[in-house]
Amino acid sequence: MSKASETDAKLDGWLGSWPVPERDESAWDELGSKLEERLSGLTIGQGEEAWLEPPLPEEPGEGDNAKLHAGGASMSEPESERPKKKSLKDFAQRVSVAPQSDGKPALSGPAADTPVPSSGPRSSSPSLRTSASFISRPPEARDSDSGILDLNAVRESSLPDTGAQPAQSDLFEEEVKAAPIPIQKKSSMAPVVGGGIVAVLALAAAAVLVLRTPQGSSPMSMAEAPAVAASAASPLATVEPDRMADKGLTAEGLSVATAPAPGEPAAAAPARAAGAADEAKSKAATDSKEEKDEPAPPTGDTKDLAGAMATAVGAGGSKKEDGPKSATPSADPGSLPETPSQGAIAGAIGSVRDAARACVAGQTEPSRATITFASNGSVSSVSVAGGAAGTPAAGCIQAALKRARVAPFKKDSFTVGVTVRP
Amino acid sequence: MAKESDHELIQLAREGDNQAFGELVRRHQKRIFRLAVHMLRDTTEAEDVTQETFVRAYQALARFQGNSQPYTWLYRIAVNLSLNIIRTRKPRQHVTGDDDPRIESWLAVHGPSGEKDPATVNEQRELAKALCEGIDQLSDTLRTTLLLVAMDGLGHAEASEVLGCPEGTVAWRVHEARRKLRSHLSSLGLVDEKEGEP
């Protein structure tokens, strides 16, 4: 035990055993009889409510530390800056929901409700057995080129189905029932076949365009053709936006594949991925908005692939040069007003006036409060005069009015008077 | 009458049973009085506050909603009344004297029983005086919270009901009050403490 704790224990002992000042029983009886006399002439419901109000003003600094002792946030890490604990759970739920959108049989019961860690579940875990079939094929791997290998698919494509079962096949019996392989094969092969067809068509189109393009045209055209073909050959990349939209998937579902940086806590990865997803979404939204604002690109020469690409690149380039339109201008210290505006003061006072009025409910005389704002816009002091002065209501008014806030200003302080009427 | 809970007594008093309210007074007047003495450092004023607390409570019986313990409600009224008296006093430098009623009550328990060893009596008197000084130097907010929790034995939840603030705030105030009191006693050499030592 530390010395401070020992002293605290000693202090608690001293304070806790501090007796009531000596009084005879007759004195207590006398007090009781006096009280009875007074109460006999009183009626219930005639008192003032001020005595029932919270009595004490805030202690300076207690707002910052109260959370610590309440077992809340740590001092070095405010609540708002913490990664949301729900993010991993949300992702797990998204994983367990994904097969429904893929046309596969939906799971019911505990397996569907069980959150599954994204790092890969233990399929031997009883609670996860029924969900292991689709977990082995992560939705990210189906919808994007995320680099996640589907080992089951590799095994199925490379080995003939001889009907032989692995030594521990009993572990997977339920998953075989839950997710029939033919359905999985059908849905998993469709994008590949479709992508192959698209790739072949794209190659053919590129060849035709190259042949039709005059020799003196841009030398980039030959170099770009394979790139176009390559992008077409990647079916997941080309069909992804539409498919994702159809399935209700978002960029958030894909961003979890982002690996944490070395030294970064594992828990930070989902938050960073979610942040990246948000950024991507906002960027996409900004881009689409900007596209609406810009004039439509010329369409007369769309048959020329090189020209179309140049147009597209040019448009994209101009977009980038424009920069984000929503950039927040930084605050210029020189632009601060000398004093807060009347509107700002009225707004600040108005936001706390009701709370202050509640403090003097039941009183008849109005109270006058003088509020002093510091240059950073916060209230530095409140003094109360009038009816509430010297009563607990004064502290209540002070506490209420101290919550007022205006925008920063140049002067050291600014004082306003407020009348608080019951 | 002694079997009824405080809530039941309040209900009976609301229905016009003055004896029920009298029982409530008998149950809690000593605690209220002790709190008032430690807040006001004056037995006469503390007596007035104790009496006034029950008068105000009686008048406000209809507004007691029953969500909290009746004694926390009484405590709130007593604290409000005590603070009102403190604030209406003329500003003066309070010096803890030997006639402080708190010191007398301390010595009644911690003083030597039987033998009258002047050295021990003096030692206890000095300790009580230092404790009183340390408590008096605290702000109203810290002092009241410390009195409720450390002296009266209220839990943080009950103290938060009395003071109308979150439990975490009560915990912080008690911690801060103890730290200041420790520091005061340490400066007088009454406790051996090095600030910040684990």
**CATH number of the domain within which B79 lies:** 1.10.1740.10
List, for residues A14-44, the tens digit of each pLDDT value: 887 777 666 777 888 887 788 877 777 777 7
Cβ pair A2:B197 closer than 8 A: yes
**pLDDT for position A64:** 56
Q: Is A7 on the interface with B (CB under 8 A)?
A: yes
Task: Mean pLDDT check: name the lowest of A63-67, A260-264, A351-355, B124-128.
Answer: A260-264
* Candidates B28, B141, B194, partner chain A, best to mutate (most A CBs within 10 A): B141
B124 located within any domain: no
Contact B6, B70 (CB under 8 A): yes
Which residue among A7, A35, A67 places its CB closest to the CB of B193? Answer: A7
B130/chain A closest Cα distance in angstroms: 12
Assign residue A409 the CATH number of its domain.
Answer: 3.30.2420
Q: Which residue has the higher pLDDT, A108 or B150?
A: B150
Which residue among B63, B141, B169 places its CB closest to the CB of A52? Answer: B63
B6 located within any domain: yes
List, for residues A243-265, the tens digit of each pLDDT value: 444 444 333 333 333 333 333 33
**pLDDT for position B104:** 78
B189 located within any domain: no
In A326-352, which positions are buried (b, 16+ CB within 10 angstroms) versus exposed (e)?
A: eeeeeeeeeebeebbeeebbeebbeeb
Domain count, chain A: 2
Across A258-362, the runs of DSSP E, i.e. the strands, are none
List, for residues A198-227, the tens digit of each pLDDT value: 888 989 888 888 877 655 444 443 344 344
A385/chain B closest Cα distance in angstroms: 13
* Residues of chain A contacting residue B129, judged by C-beta atoms under 8 Å apart: none
pLDDT over threshold 50, residue A299: no
Burial of B37 (0-12, 13-18, 19+ CB in 10 A): buried
List, for residues A412-422, the tens digit of each pLDDT value: 888 888 888 77
B18 located within any domain: yes
Residue of A nearest to B177 (CA): A8
Which residue among A21, A42, A54 places its CB closest to the CB of B43? Answer: A21
- 3-class secondary structure, A415: strand
Q: Is A33 on the interface with B (CB under 8 A)?
A: no
Confidence band for B81, pLDDT divided at 50, 70 and 90: very high
Size of interface A-B (CB pairs under 8 A): 198
The token pair at A274 is 């979610």
* Residues of chain A contacting residue B189, judged by C-beta atoms under 8 Å apart: none
Q: Which residue has the higher pLDDT, B145 or B190?
A: B145
Q: Which residues, listed in sequence order, are joined to residue A419 by a DSSP beta bridge? A: A368
pLDDT over threshold 90, residue A153: no
pLDDT over threshold 90, residue B150: no
Residue of A nearest to B178 (CA): A8
A226 located within any domain: no
The token pair at A356 is 């202050």
pLDDT over threshold 70, residue B49: yes
Supply the range of the domain harboring residue B22.
1-92
Residue of A nearest to B78 (CA): A51
* Residues of chain B contacting residue A47, judged by C-beta atoms under 8 Å apart: 56, 58-60
Task: Mean pLDDT check: name the lowest of A57-66, A147-156, A321-330, A378-387.
Answer: A321-330
Q: Average pLDDT, whole number, for chain A?
A: 59
**pLDDT for position A363:** 77
Provide the ipTM.
0.78
List, for residues A156-192, the tens digit of each pLDDT value: 555 554 444 444 434 344 433 444 444 444 445 666 7
Q: Which residues, listed in sequence order, are joined to residue A369 by a DSSP beta bridge? A: A384, A418
B123 located within any domain: no
The token pair at A83 is 């990664």
A398 located within any domain: yes
Cβ pair A70:B106 closer than 8 A: no
Residue of B nearest to A12 (CA): B150
pLDDT over threshold 60, residue A328: no
Domain count, chain B: 1
H-only helix segments in B15-155: 18-40, 43-59, 70-88, 101-110, 118-137, 140-146
pLDDT over threshold 80, residue A316: no
Supply the range of the domain harboring residue A357.
336-420
